[in-house]
Structure 1
Amino acid sequence: MKTNDLIRKNYNSLDVAKFLCALSIISAHFASEWGHFPILIDYAFSIYIIAVPFFFVCSGFLFSEKFFKLKNDKEKKMYFIKYERKIITIYLWWSLIYFLFVVVEWISNGTTLNEVLDYVHIALVFTTYPTIWYLPALGVGIALLYVLQKKLSVIKIFLLGLALYVIGALGFSYSFVQDKVHFLSNVYHIYNMVFETSRNGLFNGLPFVAMGALISIYKQKFKFTSFSLGLISFFSLIAIVCEAFILKTFFNNVGADTVFFLLPFEYFFMLFLITIKLPSSRVYLWLRELSTMVFTSQRLFLTAIPGVIPGMVINSLYENSYIGLLLVIGITLLFSFLVIVGSKKYSFLKVLF
């Protein structure tokens, strides 16, 4: 499959990939927070680290597919505002939903002024609740792309994104480097006191959003076949596993979410997916909507609801890790499906996805 096969309006393969990535994130979160799986299965769930970067790349790609084809700055500005409004709306509504559970937990278990202030601080600089940090990070990444493209080419924005990714990696997966350079350690310490983490829209969002934009603009210039792109993606995935293993074994790193081999993997995996043509079907729209709902609602059943009901109830439900995992996935999918179906009659539900 050659370059001209890349040019088409619908990329149904992306909807399939996003849905599978959303399921992988649920599985990994359940495994780390509730499950007791054999070590090899537990490690297999760690592959989920490809999912959030893929969401960034995919969003940057799809945004750019239309944005850079618009004729004038006014049209581009209106499209950007509409895109950002959608992200912000979803984030604010889910923040409100999760905040209700936070308040109930504060009332039930008691809280201190410092804990409340910590919540407010993290909400302002990072996220209102775990996992949905992706939404404000995406908003920041897209906003930076919009601003920078007025002065810089997409290639230069991408190179800037790579530099920012390195800075972010030194604050996360490669934080052990700070032990060797005291100046860096002090800088990152001050930064983390304010912004909590470097896994955000600047150091994690923009690099992958810019990668998606780069692929969108230059996809016609790639001469790789689907087979070669799939092969490169596979070996890049193996490299991610090796890099993560080395970091964990020899450097006791805090997480593999910002390893360097994620960059070539996401790049070639995205190229591979857009060469795959799938037959037209409404099922892909369902998968697209489900992937968003599954991603944003999973914390209801992993964290929020378990946080306000007796622990023994959840422990009994999740006692068997395999049954517990299937239960969480099943409930999340059912809830997501009902919200999407319900939105056909009650349009206000559309603000959730």
Structure 2
Amino acid sequence: MARKQLAAIDIAKYVSALLVVCIHTFPFIDINETFNTYFIQTVCRMAVPFFFTISGYFFFRKLTNDEEENKELLKRYLFRLLKIYLIWTIIYLPYTIYNYVSAGTGWIGIISYLRNFLLNGSYYHLWFLPALMTGMIIAYFLYQKKGMVFMLKVSLILYFVGYLLNVFAPLWESIPVISFLFRFFTVTITTSRNGFFFAPIFIGIGCLLAKTKRLSGRFSQIALIISFALLVMEVTLYIILGMMRDLTSMYLSLIPTTYFLVNTLLTMKIPYKPTYRSMREDSLLIYTVHILFAVPLLALLPNAHIVVYFLTIALSQGFASLVVKYKKQFPILKELL
């Protein structure tokens, strides 16, 4: 791929990391709660699907007709993600232990932690890493078994089931018999926002973009605007129906919005600069480290969320810059990437 096209992707990765920080610090809530809700539930909710899609795009571009070679590629990919996940799990252990001791849940807490480690992240924002691993395994084997169309169909069904569980949770909790089944689901799996229901369709979209020709930039931009407008309308509908909760995030409109967003970025040609590669690395580091700063800052400044947001960004960027700068001098820092 032309480096000019990579520039737009790297910039978008960095911006997406900043949007994820928004989700966890809700910067505008003290200024206008309605604006804060809409900004997080529309603009910011595009970030994680974007990350999944780009991951799928670059992975499936590398696949060949050699099945054994493809399996090795998948193993190396999963091993890298697992390594990063385990390292950050260890880094967040003090926070995890503090939360565990504060909750005083005993053995139930340990069992919940083990469940979360596998399905929902060892710390709440790290859920993306096991979800990406699980989603990639599902997408890869569906693709290898019956091709891209089959993978997209199955992934779409999984997403729709997850959408019903995620968005309409208040409804299921209010229906007597279904509420029991839904409680069983939340106790065992917690949420459908994971690698089984959420990730495969966006990884599949990445595969679709990798294996098909680009739509024209102009058409894609118009379609993106329309899709985003539908996303805003969808969010508005759920707010009116009283379905909006903190973890509500699996919107139907995110599927076309993400597709047209990434297609648009892939048609953009921006002169490439070395700083864009740094932005790519910074995006992962900001994503993984920001909670380390956000948690104490939110405790210290509970009524200054916009300040917490910018302080979190500044500290996270400072950390990322140090890692990128000294990773050659201290090879252990490369393990964070």
Q: Is TM more than 0.5 here?
A: yes
> In structure 1, what is the Cα distance between the partners aligned to 2:24 and 2:31?
12
In the other structure, the counterpart of 1:323 is 307
| 2:249 paired with 1:257 | yes
Q: Deviations over 1:116-142 (max 9, x none)?
A: 443333223321101110000000111
Is residue 12 of structure 2 the alignment partner of residue 17 of structure 1?
yes
Structure 1 residue identity aligned to 2:240: T
1:277 paired with 2:269, answer yes
TM-score by length of 2: 0.90
- CA drift of 1:106 comes to 5.0
- Equivalent residue number for residue 343 of structure 1: 327
Please give the alpha-carbon distance, in whole angstroms, between the structure 2 residues aligned to 1:168 and 1:115. Answer: 25
Question: 173-182 vs 321-330, which deviates more?
Answer: 173-182
State which drifts further: 343-352 or 121-130. 121-130
Aligned length in residues: 332
Q: Tell whether the 8 Å contact from 1:301 to 1:332 is kept in structure 2 after alignment.
A: yes
For the residue of structure 2 that corresponds to 1:37, the secondary structure is coil
How far the C-alpha of 1:228 sits from its partner, in A, is 1.8
Q: Show CA shifts across 1:283-316 (max 9, x none).
A: 111111011001111110112x459xxx5xx13x
Residue 166 of structure 2: SS of its match in structure 1? coil
Unaligned runs of 5+ in 2: none
Contact 1:244 1:256 in 2 (8 A): no
Greater displacement, 235-244 / 118-127: 118-127
AA of the residue aligned to 2:134: V
1:96-245 alignment runs, 5 A limit: 96-104=90-98, 106=100, 109=102, 111-113=104-106, 114-176=108-170, 178=172, 185-218=179-212, 220=213, 222=214, 224-245=215-236
Match of 2:84 among 78, 90, 93: 90
Rounded to whole Å, the distance in 2 between the matches of 1:323 and 1:85 is 37
Closer/same/farther in 2, CA of residues 177 and 163 from structure 1, 3 Å limit: farther
The 2-side partners of 1:177 and 1:152 are apart by 36
Closer/same/farther in 2, CA of residues 286 and 146 from structure 1, 3 Å limit: same
TM-score, scaled to structure 1: 0.87
Instruction: Encode CA deviations 1:168-211: one digit per residue, 9 max, x unaligned.
Output: 00110133553687665554332222111111001001111011
8 Å Cα contact 2:167/2:243 also seen in 1 = no
The Cα RMSD (Å) is 2.3
Q: Mark the CA change 1:186 to 1:112 in structure 2 (over 3 Å): closer, same or farther.
A: closer
* In structure 1, distance between residues paired with 2:336 and 2:86: 9
Classify the secondary structure of the residue corresponding to 1:200. Answer: coil
Percentage of identical aligned residues? 24
Instruction: Give 1:322 shift.
Output: 2.9
